[in-house]
A = this chain, B = another copy of it.
Amino acid sequence: MDDSVFADRVMDVPPSFIREILKVALNHEIISFAGGLPNRQLFPVEEIKAATQKVLDNQGRDVLQYSNSEGYIELRNLISQRYLAKKNLNIPAANILITNGSQQGLDLLGKTMLNDGDALVIEEPGYLGAIQAFSMYKPSFKTVTVNDEGMDVNRLKRVMSTCKPKLLYSVPNFQNPSGISYSEENRRAVAETLEGTATFLIEDDPYGDLRYTGKPINSFKSYLPDNTIMLGSFSKIVAPGIRVGWIVAPDALMDKLIIAKQASDLNSSFFTQCIVYQYWKDNDIEKHISRIRDVYGKQSKAMLDSIDEFFPRQITHTTPEGGMFLWASLPDNISSRDLLELAIKDKVVFVPGDTFYVKNDRLNSMRLNFSCVDEKTIWDGIERLSKAIKKLL
């Protein structure tokens, strides 16, 4: 098949290096810090089963039919109520659109807002799924470094002085891949920089509920109310296989997003939306989330403690207060891809950090996942990894 049959937008996307690593990780002798998945042991299987039976008993014919593109109103009401209860945010259900996980939220925002060449600010390192979703709409990516405090505001100001970005994409809580969170001061500074401009800030918050230490910080919605779009998901607090997430967007944008949603797949499964709703109604979701926090919190601590114990002092790392990932950096001149080769021999894998850069020029860092590995295995894996590091240094 001649390449000219394809659209330009799909020609530049490289094969996913993560996929390759995950294939290696299928070997059961390998300890994998490469994953990006929630821990399947924590899925509420029995509760989902009970919810599913109830849904099919009470409204089987309804849930198996086509439904509206906005999503199930009762589920959107619960999401709205939780924003008020948890974050003191007033988000009407009319401003909530149900999506197939927040990945579809990214796609619909790209589809609705990005023309070829439109500027889009993205974190560096940044979430790969977002880079992939937005790439399809051929924006001009403007990268802004994130550090332990959040976004580099000086760099952001320089970007904003040279172009008018349509969107700024951020994961302010326990970012994937770095595990960092934006401080309150940093959020205020980012919001001030965007204030009065036409740039919309996307706050993607899949991990926000998974805080293990420190204090919650307000959503960007509090600092930049008119120009913040929020993405949420049940993937990390219930289960990803049901594919239910949502977008919070202003009225005018909602109208366009609904059209884009119709064009994309008519509607998200009413069946799975009703299952999530029923699960939520019949169970204490906050208690379930707190159980996930307990487990991941211990695993996060095990990773920090074992790094402290085993890693050479030259290795710096972030100290995540939540989420699923930690970010470690080797000395500048050392490549984490070289480390990965050695690490595979020692039966431990991770994702090299350059994977998370739009331009792969930083080669010394790595993403370490702690959600899918138990405490003892984390200690073993970090010990193995430290041996590989010492060989390389």
Contacts and interface: CB of A to CB of B under 8 A. Distances in A.
Most B CB within 10 A of own CB, among A4, A60, A103 = A60
A5 B65 contact: no
Which residue, A137, A243, A272, has most C-beta atoms of chain B within 10 A? A243
Contacts of A63: 241
Nearest to A1: B252
A90 B260 CA distance: 35
B40 A7 contact: no
Contacts of A89: none
Contact of A270 (B135, B198, B241, B250): B241
A266 interface: yes
A64 B6 contact: no
A40 B129 CA distance: 37
A132 B65 contact: no
A53 interface: yes
Contacts of A56: 45, 48-49, 52
Contacts of A272: 269, 271-272
Contacts of A49: 52-53, 56-57, 60
A320 B198 CA distance: 52
A111 B265 CA distance: 13
A202 interface: no
Interface of A: 1-2, 4-10, 13, 16, 37-38, 40-41, 43, 45, 48-49, 52-53, 56-57, 60-67, 99-101, 103-104, 107, 111-116, 118, 129, 132-133, 135-137, 166, 198, 200, 235, 239-243, 250-253, 256, 259-260, 262-272
Given A6-B253, A49-B53, A49-B57, 6 more contacts: A2-B198, A5-B198, A41-B61, A66-B235, A107-B263, A116-B116
